């Protein structure tokens, strides 16, 4: 075998060797073999930003050198993107095939195979049409890596000095954090407004029963989880038969009911009136299929439909790609190849019939400017491979089914939908009922979850209907929704921040650095996220400026397309950045970026009785004396004083909820303490004696909160545990025996509040 083929993943070795046949040896690099060093800058800013790469995977490199010994031809079959091109470039350099500039050395031969699906036809086609290494793609990847390293390694030490040790800044991640912070600021400024909806449930037959009127009120000052529970209960109570008519207009204008008295006035004015249909309008609407997935839309759909994180989605998609089941999953294209379109059309005709096939193939326009546009959309490699036929794990099958149906439906015919609008005028009030019926499903035959119908009974103008129930429901305008993974990816794509291949990394990074936390499915900025964002806004506005960051991404695209020089691009950024950094090192005060506000008036300094400030420290919020550094008094948040805690531990309410304090061997009571994770019992000589124990609820209180202790399959009683998503019941030998039962978080909070339990 005279030729060595290098791929990235070992899972590709067998299939690619099989497709290429004899004469080729296939080995995996197992990702990058070289990168910038972890513990130093690794970029010579005085020598045109020359990167100083080190070997990061010596084992793989040694294996590749051994495999290449005695061979003259190196073939790179790494992934078809900037990252893959850079991996191949490093491999070719370290095997002595090319120079740093990409020029092939004498006596050596280098070929680049490019394919976006691991199938026999695609691999053989790539072998027949090899190309050279694309140094533009290599330079674009290298530029991104150097820019991110310059920002991270130059700005992070400033954050250590001015906020706290261990923080880090990222060129793109900082903008993502700012998006989350800005959304939270919007929510903080938001003022909720009351409004009422009025819905009437009508029947074609008159009932002997009196019309029921329901007023559904909620307390907007209560916590959201209790509010949601009340709304759910109200919805169950109001569930009723009949045709739902909604009040939509008053005196020709959009209905706006601001309070209960206005709602009562509406009900008073329609009471006893005849409900006669004054108009029935029907129209036909056409629904068109949407394009196949690109990377960002796949990540968004997987979050919403499957509950997968962006990172998990890309890991599962990688497995599907390497198994030869889908095309390459890092792409901005929404187009399929001509061959794939023909295959999809044949499959549609054979399975669903000619009526599900449009006269001409469906084509979708794209606005993408990036290098990955040369790729196809994400699609199955064979439309004959339905999800039930593939050999894969549960996650892989679920994601494959999503990709398969989206790609196949994109080539199906339009759906035809009949829309019905029925209106009733009572004095100045206009009530409407809307219906929807699918006349022909078209592509909805494949995407059945989108084929929702709301079918109304046959109604005609002049028909009289009779009110069974009228519901006046109180509502409050809601603040802008926080970002989920899906909506954050959508925002990053909208503003041109990052690229499809980086979205999952961005989201993972801002969580791992604890700039944001995910509560249920929503991102909430931490105190650290707020403070770091404020510091960057005040002193390095370009780092968190959406337009500036998007422009930088366009520069990287221009480098990838050979339209811009990479060293010049870095110089344009680094010159002003380094100058600002030098000035700000002396001008920024640490005190400006660790004070979050004043402590409650009752909280006094334990040393000098002065008022205290809320500060951000390494382990979160704490109280610090306002006279710091003269006075170094401090308290944990919630820790008013030792006396207050002792009083609380002896209070009737406390003793009625929790078991008594444990005792030491010599009979002394443990003391109530307040730490990072709340209250706990501590040894009286704590922290010298590091013995801390959790508070235990009394048996009757525990039963009221959690119900009866469930049993595992082997009959053993389960135990309560706490995890990253809250409390849950687990097998006593968990995690060795992975048997557990989840606990409804919303319901748990509600029960604890009702019992006065913290």
Report the C-alpha gap between 388 and 303 in whole angstroms: 22
- Give alpha helix (H) positions in 478-617: 485-494, 503-512, 527-539, 546-560, 566-587
> The dihedral of CA 388, 393, 398, 399: what is its sign?
negative
What is the token pair recorded at 726?
């809250």
DSSP states of 676-739 as a string?
Answer: TTEEEEE-TTTTTS--EE---B-HHHHHHHH-SPPB-TTSPBPEEEEETTEEEEE-TTTTTS--
Torsion (CA) 173, 179, 184, 190 in degrees, nearest 10: 170
561 and 130 Cβ atoms separated by less than 8 Å:
no
What is each CA distance from 659 to 29, 609, 704, in whole angstroms? 59, 33, 15
Name the residue with tokens 């913290």. 758
Query: 277-309: b or e for each residue (b if 16 or more CB lie within 10 Å)?
Result: beebeeeeeebebbbbbbbbbbbbbbbeebebb
Find out whether 355 and 121 touch, Cβ atoms under 8 Å: no
Q: Which residues are catalytic?
A: 328
The residue with tokens 């990479």 is 566
> What one-character-per-residue DSSP string does 163-210 give?
T-TT----TTHHHHHHHHHHHHHHHHH----EEEEEEEEEESS--SSP
Residues 6+ apart with CB under 8 A from 350: none
Contact 531, 593 (CB under 8 A): yes
Alpha carbons 606 and 732: distance in angstroms, whole number: 43
Q: What is the number of alpha carbons within 13 Å of residue 361 lying toward its C-beta?
A: 17
- 707/701 Cα distance (integer angstroms): 9
**Distance, CA of 459 to CA of 465 (rounded, Å):** 10
Residue with tokens 């792409």: 331
**Interior angle at CA 108, CA 102 and CA 114, nearest 5:** 60
Paired residues of 673 in beta bridges: 680
């Amino acid at each position: 075998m005279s030729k060595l083929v290098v791929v990235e993943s070992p899972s590709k070795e067998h299939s690619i060797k099989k497709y290429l046949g004899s004469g080729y040896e296939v080995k995996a690099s197992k990702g990058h073999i070289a990168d910038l060093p972890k513990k130093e800058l690794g970029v010579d800013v005085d020598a045109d930003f020359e990167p100083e790469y080190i070997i990061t995977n010596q084992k793989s490199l040694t294996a590749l050198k051994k495999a290449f010994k005695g061979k003259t031809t190196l073939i790179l079959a790494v992934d078809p993107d900037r990252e893959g091109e850079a991996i191949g470039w490093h491999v070719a350099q370290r095997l002595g095939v090319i120079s740093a500039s990409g020029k092939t050395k004498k006596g050596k031969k280098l070929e680049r195979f490019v394919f976006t699906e691991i199938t026999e036809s695609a691999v053989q086609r790539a072998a027949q049409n090899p190309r050279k290494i694309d140094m533009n793609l290599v330079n674009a990847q290298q530029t991104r890596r150097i820019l991110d390293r310059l920002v991270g390694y130059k700005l992070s030490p400033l954050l250590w000095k001015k906020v706290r040790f261990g923080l880090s800044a990222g060129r793109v991640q900082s903008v993502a954090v700012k998006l989350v912070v800005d959304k939270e600021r919007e929510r903080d400024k938001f003022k909720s407004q009351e409004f009422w909806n009025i819905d009437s449930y009508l029947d074609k037959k008159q009932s002997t029963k009196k019309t029921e009127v329901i007023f559904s009120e909620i307390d907007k000052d209560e916590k959201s989880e209790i509010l949601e529970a009340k709304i759910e209960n109200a919805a169950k109570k109001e569930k009723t038969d009949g045709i739902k008519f909604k009040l939509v207009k008053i005196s020709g204008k959009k209905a706006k009911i601001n309070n209960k008295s206005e709602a009562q006035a509406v009900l008073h004015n329609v009471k006893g009136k005849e409900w006669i249909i004054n108009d029935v309008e029907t129209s036909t609407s056409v629904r068109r299929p949407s394009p196949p997935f690109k990377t960002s839309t796949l990540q968004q759909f997987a979050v919403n439909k499957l509950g997968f994180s962006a990172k998990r989605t890309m890991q599962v998609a990688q497995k599907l790609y390497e198994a030869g089941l889908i095309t390459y999953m890092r792409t901005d294209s929404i187009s399929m190849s001509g061959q794939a379109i023909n295959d999809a059309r044949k499959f549609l005709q054979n399975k669903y019939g000619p009526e599900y096939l449009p006269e001409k193939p469906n084509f979708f326009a794209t606005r993408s400017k990036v290098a990955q546009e040369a790729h196809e959309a994400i699609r199955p490699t064979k439309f004959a491979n339905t999800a039930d036929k593939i050999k894969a794990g549960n996650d892989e099958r679920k994601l494959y089914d999503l990709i398969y149906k989206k790609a196949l439906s994109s080539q199906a015919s339009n759906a035809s939908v009949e829309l019905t609008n029925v209106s009733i005028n009572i004095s100045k009030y206009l009530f409407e009922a809307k219906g929807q019926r699918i006349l022909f499903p078209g592509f909805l035959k494949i995407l059945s979850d989108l084929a929702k119908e709301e079918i109304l009974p046959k109604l005609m103008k002049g028909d009289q209907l009779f009110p069974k129930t009228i519901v006046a429901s109180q509502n409050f305008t809601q603040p802008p929704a926080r970002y989920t993974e899906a909506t954050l990816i959508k925002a990053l794509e909208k503003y041109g921040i990052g690229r499809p291949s980086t979205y999952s990394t961005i989201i993972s990074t801002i969580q791992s650095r604890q700039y944001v936390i995910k509560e249920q499915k929503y991102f909430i900025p931490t105190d650290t996220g707020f403070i770091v964002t404020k510091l960057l806004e005040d002193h390095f506005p370009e780092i968190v400026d959406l337009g500036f960051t998007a422009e930088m991404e366009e520069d990287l695209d221009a480098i990838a397309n050979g339209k811009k020089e990479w060293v010049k691009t870095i110089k344009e950024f680094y010159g002003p950045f380094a100058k600002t950094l030098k000035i700000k090192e002396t001008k920024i005060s640490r005190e400006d970026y660790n004070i979050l506000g004043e402590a409650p008036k009752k909280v006094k300094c334990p040393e000098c009785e002065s008022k205290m400030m809320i500060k951000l420290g390494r382990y979160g919020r704490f109280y610090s004396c306002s006279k710091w550094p003269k006075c170094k008094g401090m308290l944990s948040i919630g820790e008013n004083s030792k006396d207050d805690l002792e009083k609380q531990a002896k209070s009737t309410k406390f003793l009625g909820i929790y078991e008594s304090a444990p005792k030491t061997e010599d009979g002394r009571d443990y003391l109530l303490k307040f730490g990072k994770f709340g209250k706990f019992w501590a040894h009286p000589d704590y922290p010298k004696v590091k013995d801390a124990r959790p508070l235990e609820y009394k048996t009757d209180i525990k039963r009221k909160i959690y119900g009866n202790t469930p049993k595992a399959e082997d009959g053993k009683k389960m135990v309560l545990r706490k995890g990253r998503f809250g409390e849950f019941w687990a097998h006593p030998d968990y995690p060795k025996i992975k048997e557990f039962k989840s606990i409804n978080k919303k319901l748990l909070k509600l029960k604890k509040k009702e019992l006065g339990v913290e």
